Amino acid sequence: MDLDNALRVSAAGLQAQSTRLRVVAENLANRDSTGSSPGADPYRRKTVTFGAHVERGLGAAGGVSTVKVSRVGTAPGEFTETYDPAHPAADARGYVKRPNVDSLIEVMDMREAQRSYSANVSVLEVTRGMLTRIIETLR
């Protein structure tokens, strides 16, 4: 793999993890968002799905495989209900549906995305250093 391809792979990883961090932040921001009307569904946790993307024409083997966000979807699962008859979103029984966002899971996703992001930044810095040394050698 040449240095240009290393830069492309790292940049794709940075972009994918940036999207993942944005989705985690959105989930955490909406963890207490209930429905706007009685019995309405609350905010549903969003998830990020990654996929391989082959950039044709790069490299000797016919392409370079990079990561890309293939889909931002919603997590399945039931909503929890709490009894709060005074809440504007309470149904006829007095229960309010709560989002299916678990703060612990979101924080763990955030830490994993943060580490992946940092690893890609490190690769970019090392690659840049190598390119700088090559240029200095050619002078």
The residue ranges of every structural domain in the chain are 3-138
Q: Which helix (H) or strand (E) holds 124?
A: helix 103-138
pTM: 0.83
Q: Which of 31-45, 52-66, 81-95 has the least mean pLDDT?
A: 52-66
Q: What is the pLDDT of residues 61-72, one digit of tens each?
A: 556 788 899 999
Q: Please, are residues 59 and 1 in contact by the beta-carbon 8 Å criterion?
A: yes
CA distances 47 to 7, 21, 22, 119, 129, Å, are 27, 11, 11, 22, 35
> β-pairing, 46-56 with 63-74?
antiparallel
Q: Give the pLDDT band of residue 77 (cuts 50, 70, 90).
A: confident
Query: Taking 80 as the threshold, does the pLDDT of residue 56 lie above it?
Result: no
CA pair distance 47, 26, nearest whole angstrom = 10
What single string gives the DSSP state of each residue in 30-57?
TTT---SSTT------EEEEEEEEEEET
